[in-house]
């Protein structure tokens, strides 16, 4: 059974008198443990697809099954429960809460889920250690470097032990060296069995994934399974 199954997905937006087909007739299956890059030019539907997968948006038509369950028909509260327990998000701009420390930011999903303090503290301590943030636990985001902020964001995204991580341009605000460190962290999580889906404009990062989905005008232009690096410049150009 696929982790993700999209069937006949349509997402339309109205801009004045014009209907924009952000996603059109999309059919897609992604298995548990896959490492997938979603690529394509601006306006191709990458972010819309990520928002649908993350239950931040709903399709106009079609069904989305996550772990065999149709999540398109769930109420907003039910979707929020699935989102908080099964999906982790990593964004380009980190989305940390400025007034909270690194440890408090990491703990936030567990706090919202009502996990007891002792268990929260245990998981946070382990995450701080795993992500090399032991000495930064009490620092607020403005006291952290970009790479440290993204490590906090990844720790927060994984603290609920999700089945799926969605990363939207996770290295976009980082220099190359720091970006590589962040990618290595995400790939290490994937190696432990977490499904990783990354939206990226970075050809080099996209080529690291074992599968590339090339989007164009809301449609899936190419679905590449690879053992060797393809020349993506020819496909997405």
CATH fold of 4-236 reads Rossmann fold (3.40.50)
Residue 229 has pLDDT above 90, yes or no: no
Residue 119: pLDDT over 60 = yes
Higher pLDDT, 82 or 94: 82
Average pLDDT of the segment spanning 217-236: 68
CA atoms of 182 and 49, how far apart (whole Å): 22
Find tokens 């060797």 and name the residue: 228
pLDDT of residue 174: 80
Q: Please check the confidence at residue 204 and state whether its pLDDT lies above 80.
A: yes
Average pLDDT over residues 74-80: 93
Kindly report the pTM of this predicted structure.
0.87
The reported pLDDT for the residue numbered 227 is: 62
102 secondary structure, DSSP code: H
The arithmetic mean of pLDDT across residues 60-77, rounded, is 95
Q: Hey, where are the domains in the chain?
A: 4-236
Residue of 23, 7, 13 whose CA lies nearest to 62: 7
CA dist 200 to 89, 92, 122, Å? 14, 10, 33
Residue 231 has pLDDT above 60, yes or no: no
Q: What is the pLDDT of residue 178?
A: 83
Model confidence at 237, pLDDT cuts 50, 70, 90, reads: very low
For residue 173, name the pLDDT band (cuts at 50, 70, 90): confident
| pLDDT at site 28 | 96
Please report, rounded to a whole number, the percentage of residues in the chain having pLDDT higher than 90.
74
Cα-flanking dihedrals φ and ψ of residue 181, to 5°? -65, -40
pLDDT band, residue 97 (cuts 50/70/90): very high
């Amino acid at each position: 059974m696929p982790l993700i199954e999209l069937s006949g997905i349509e997402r339309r937006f109205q801009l004045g008198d014009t209907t924009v087909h952000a996603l059109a007739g999309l059919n897609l299956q992604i298995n548990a443990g896959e490492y997938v890059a979603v690529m394509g030019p601006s306006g191709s539907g990458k972010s819309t697809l990520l928002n649908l997968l993350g239950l931040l948006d709903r399709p106009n038509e079609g069904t989305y099954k996550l772990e065999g369950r149709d999540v398109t028909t769930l109420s907003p509260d039910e979707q929020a429960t699935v989102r908080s327990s099964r999906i982790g998000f990593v964004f380009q701009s980190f989305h940390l809460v400025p007034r909270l420390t690194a440890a408090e930011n990491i703990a936030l999903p567990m706090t919202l889920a009502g996990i007891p303090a002792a268990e929260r503290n245990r998981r946070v301590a382990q995450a701080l250690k795993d992500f090399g943030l032991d000495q930064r636990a009490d620092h607020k985001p403005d006291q952290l470097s970009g790479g440290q902020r993204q490590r906090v964001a990844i720790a927060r995204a994984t603290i609920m032990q999700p089945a799926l991580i969605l990363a939207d341009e996770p290295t976009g605000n980082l220099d190359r060296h720091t970006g590589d460190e962040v990618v290595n962290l995400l790939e290490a999580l994937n190696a432990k069995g977490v499904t990783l889906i990354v939206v990226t404009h970075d050809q080099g990062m996209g080529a690291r994934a074992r599968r590339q989905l090339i989007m164009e005008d809301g449609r899936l232009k190419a679905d590449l399974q690879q053992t060797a690096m393809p020349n993506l410049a020819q496909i997405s150009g």
